[in-house]
Amino acid sequence: MSSVTAGVLQLLALIAALALVHRPLGDHMARVYSSDRHYRPEKWIYRAIGANPSAEMRWPAYLRAVLAFSAVSVLFLYLLQRVQGSLPGSLGFVSIDPDQAFNTAASFVANTNWQSYYGEQAMGHVVQTGGLAVQNFVSAAVGMAVAVALVRGFARSRTGELGNFWADLVRGTVRILLPIAVIGAIVLVACGVIQNFAGIHEVGQFVNQHGMGGTQQWNGGAVASQEVIKELGTNGGGYFNANSAHPFENPTPFSNLFEIFLILVIPFALTRTFGRMVGNLRQGYAILATMGVIWLGFTALMMWTEFAHPGPAFDVAGGAMEGKETRFGIAGSSLFAVATTLTSTGAVNSFHSSYTGFGGGITMLGMQLGEIAPGGVGSGLYGMLIMAVIAVFIAGLMVGRTPEYLGKKIGTREIKLAACYILVTPALVLCFTAAAMALPTPAGSMTNTGAHGFSEILYAYTSGANNNGSAFAGLNADTQWFNSTIGIAMLLGRFLPMVFVLALAGSLAEQKPVPETAGTLRTDKPLYAGLLVGTIVIITGLTYFPALALGPLAEGLAA
Amino acid sequence: MNNSVGNTARLIGAGLRALLVLTVICGVLYPLAVTGIAQAVFNDEANGSEFRDESGRVVGSSLIGQRYDLPKQNPDDPEEAAGPDLRWFQPRPSNGLGSNSVNTRYSLILSGATNRSADNGAVNGRCTDDAEEGTLCAQVVAAKEAVIADNSTAGHQVRPEDVPADAVTSSGSGLDPNISPEYAELQVHRVAERNGLAVDQVDKLVADHTQGRTLGFMGEPRVNVLELNTALKALSEN
């Protein structure tokens, strides 16, 4: 069997697995966020928090709770790293410097997991499990909560009430993420992912004909429990520097496919949750189809360029295997790279900087689309719904009718909020990239020269502002400039859009529904899904095309 | 004003308590529970899949690659790179390059890739012998020449087109435990000669240690170098 055929079969297996769990998981999540019942352990949690989980919040209250929880999280994670040197279970690692601790705290709370540190040389057991892995859960739950609040905005009328943030946060964590994580972690351990609390210890090596054998130093760690939520919560921060390329994080071809499945499963299933909650499953399918078409298109393009391997070094080598593991090959690496950059994950099983010029460009464009196909947990759905609003607005302009979506009028206020949302990340990416290129020192962090060097910096801010976290990792990002600016880009890129999403949700929930007429654009038809794909590609394409032309397009066309 | 300050303080307090409760659940109970199950049911895997030779001595992990080098001329010189011991099957290169990227050389203490681009070191769009030292072009060109020279024996000349891509490129982790079956077969003549074994014997050894795709379609066929060399050592000693 050829590698290409095997790659296609892996893709089909992935689609089959995702399709199999789509309905049950999507319906389960709809029940979780719609149910009036609080389980007994949840009631204990609410009592400890001191919150009434049944109290409805309007959008400003919901937003304040999101921001308060996230601000506390940043501070807590920052302090935890700053005192690491004095904590037990830190493997002898010292406290993290202020700029790097800020960057890392912002990164994990913003669901980005950009890492300017080397995991195995910086973070002990306490920070990894008690700090970083906790944010892998709760930052994902916050994303889902905001997405559900927006869905409620479409589903509810004449109220302005969007649910209760504390209930959404706790339920998302304990009823959705935690059960899947426990099962997934055991599956990963069975494949060979390590799960222990050993210190750094010596292990024997191959003994040669002269009876000489050295030793290796192994890091212990609760890797499987962190690995699973890193993928499931579309976080992406590796326990080790090599992330999911490290054999202790991703040991076999099966674990590789399983991790890609974990990355994609919740974002795709949330479209079912959406359809269920707005009372029209077909609306969910239209969103699902839009996401699916973009994901398949990107996967096909990536496989094509990586198998064709244009590029001077690959011409000599005979294949684009630099930065890729033998057990995954081109196909398993390409599948992972597309899944991780079309969601907000940013975990890597191969190093994007060593992809072909076009391959690197595809990973960048995936993030620049706003990570909505299928996107991060929660953030993918709300990002896609914003684009859906913009698509009906454009369609409305064409025919001269007031646009409507799901029975809600898209008026001046709504379209302003949606426009603000889509302007945030491009503004952050392009301004910070321009600043980094204009200043004398940041360029000194580049490993590669020419177009690829520029790509390293463009990639860094694209990844930060879109909360992805992957990198063209030749860039030495542990400088005060990059730690600070990428830290700011991650926080603004995460929480500013949430402000607009929740404001939009509040404004939609207050409206009374508009009855559907013969002139209403049907948003559950293939025509609309096509319009949506076009809107996404054109808006992003026009925004980023000049920057992409200087980086990956220049590199790819020269190869 | 006082009221809004009080409200904010209450909200921050609620956020802090929520974080602490969820930290206990997701950051303490969950990893401990998973560790307990993992250690009880999958003890070997949870502790790094240690691999033992015939005598029962731990010689590494089935999942982690190693180097098979000659002793250094001057063991105390950190600058000196040890040469490959051509008696053993050689793994993929693992030459992290430059000060920005990671120089792993199969050491677990820091994993990572070279992060070099495909045009790194190219002159006029081509990789040649003239590529600047330390670039990906230089590495690939030098590795290819070395693979051809090392593996060509008296009766067996390796051609450039026989060299597979994994033989001249570094992996993502720098710890790749595997090589492609093509690269293993390429080394058979050399390994047989250096160990005083028949080519057929070593050929069979490689075939026995070649692992196909999982369920026939997942991943790529591969050979585990540590397991192969351990078996080779047992064969050559008997």
Q: What ipTM score was computed for the predicted complex, to two decimals?
A: 0.95
Quick check: A69 and B26 CB within 8 A? Answer: no
In order, the DSSP letters of B40-77 are HHSHHHHTT-EEE-TTS-EEEETTS----BPPPSSTT-
Quick one: B128 and B206 in the same domain?
Answer: yes
Quick one: B42 and B71 in the same domain?
Answer: no
The pLDDT value recorded for residue A253 is 98
Q: Assess whether pLDDT exceeds 60 at residue B164.
A: yes
Q: Where among B27, B46, B65 does a domain terminate?
A: B46
Quick check: B42 and A190 CB within 8 A? Answer: yes
- Which of B64, B119, B141 is the closest to A247 by Cβ? B64
The pLDDT value recorded for residue B101 is 45
Give the distance from residue B154's alpha carbon to the nearest chain A alpha carbon, in angstroms.
Answer: 24
User: With an 8 Å Cβ cutoff, is A460 touching chain B?
Assistant: no
CB contacts of B12 in chain A (<8 Å) are 68, 71-72
Q: Hey, is A126 helix, strand or coil?
A: helix
User: With an 8 Å Cβ cutoff, is A359 touching chain B?
Assistant: no
Quick one: B33 and B72 in the same domain?
Answer: no
Calpha distance B168→B144 (Å, rounded):
6
Give the distance from residue A230's alpha carbon to the nearest chain B alpha carbon, in angstroms.
Answer: 13
Quick one: B8 and B83 in the same domain?
Answer: no
Quick check: B110 and A120 CB within 8 A? Answer: yes
Quick one: B117 and B63 in the same domain?
Answer: yes
Q: Assess whether pLDDT exceeds 80 at residue B80.
A: no
Give the distance from residue A293's alpha carbon to the nearest chain B alpha carbon, in angstroms.
Answer: 23
Quick check: A120 and B109 CB within 8 A? Answer: yes
Q: Which segments of chain A have a pLDDT < 70?
A: none
Give the distance from residue A352's alpha carbon to the nearest chain B alpha carbon, in angstroms.
Answer: 8
The pLDDT value recorded for residue B104 is 55
Quick check: B118 and A320 CB within 8 A? Answer: yes
Quick one: B166 and B128 in the same domain?
Answer: yes
Calculate the alpha carbon distances from A55 to A51, A58, A166, A167, B12 in Å: 8, 10, 10, 9, 18
- The residue length of chain B stands at 238
One-letter identity of residue B142: A
Quick check: B47 and A198 CB within 8 A? Answer: yes
User: With an 8 Å Cβ cutoff, is A323 touching chain B?
Assistant: yes
The pLDDT value recorded for residue B96 is 57
The per-residue b/e assignment along A436-463, b for 16 or more CB within 10 angstroms, e otherwise, is: beeeeebeebbbbebbbbbbbbbbbbbb
CB contacts of A169 in chain B (<8 Å) are 18, 22
Give the best residue of B99, B111, B148, B162 to mutate against chain A (max A CB count within 10 A).
B111
The per-residue b/e assignment along A326-342, b for 16 or more CB within 10 angstroms, e otherwise, is: bbbbbbbbbbbbbbbbb
Closest alpha carbon within chain A to B65 = A247
CB contacts of B30 in chain A (<8 Å) are 178, 181-182, 225
The pLDDT value recorded for residue B106 is 78
Calpha distance A133→B150 (Å, rounded):
46
Provide the chain A residues 130-189 that lie in CB contact (below 8 A) with chain B. 130-131, 133-134, 137-138, 166, 169-170, 173-174, 178, 181-182, 185-186, 189
Quick one: B138 and B38 in the same domain?
Answer: no
Closest alpha carbon within chain A to B169 = A322
Closest alpha carbon within chain B to A198 = B47
User: With an 8 Å Cβ cutoff, is A30 touching chain B?
Assistant: no
Quick one: B55 and B92 in the same domain?
Answer: yes
- Which of A131, A219, A329 is the closest to B219 by Cβ? A329
Closest alpha carbon within chain B to A132 = B27
Calpha distance B118→B132 (Å, rounded):
14
Quick one: B18 and B118 in the same domain?
Answer: no
Q: Which residues pair with B156 in a beta bridge?
A: B153
Mean pLDDT of B120-124: 92
Provide the token pair at A496: 């500013």
The pLDDT value recorded for residue A121 is 87
* Residues in CB range of B131: below 8 A, 6 or more apart: B121, B122, B123, B137, B138, B141
Q: How many CA atoms lie within 13 A of A140 on its CB side?
A: 38
Quick one: B61 and B165 in the same domain?
Answer: yes
Q: Domain count for chain B, please give it.
A: 2
Quick check: A448 and B116 CB within 8 A? Answer: yes
User: With an 8 Å Cβ cutoff, is A297 touching chain B?
Assistant: no
- Which of A226, A316, A349 is the closest to B172 by Cβ? A349
Calpha distance B97→B135 (Å, rounded):
7
Q: Where among B46, B63, B82 does a domain terminate?
A: B46
Quick one: B26 and B78 in the same domain?
Answer: no
Across A201-317, where does the E strand assignment appear?
201-204, 215-218
pLDDT in tens, A409-428: 999 999 999 999 999 999 99
Give the distance from residue A183's alpha carbon to the nearest chain B alpha carbon, in angstroms.
Answer: 9
The pLDDT value recorded for residue B97 is 42
Quick one: B62 and B167 in the same domain?
Answer: yes
Quick check: A134 and B49 CB within 8 A? Answer: no
* Residues in CB range of B193: below 8 A, 6 or more apart: B153, B154
In order, the DSSP letters of A474-535 are TS---SHHHHHHHHHHHHHHHHHHHHHHHHHHHHHHHSPPPPP-TTS--TTSHHHHHHHHHH
State chain B's mean pLDDT as an integer. Answer: 90
- Find the domain containing B115 and state its range: 50-237
Provide the token pair at A79: 């302090």
Closest alpha carbon within chain A to B16 = A72
Quick check: A310 and B118 CB within 8 A? Answer: yes
Mean pLDDT of B50-79: 88
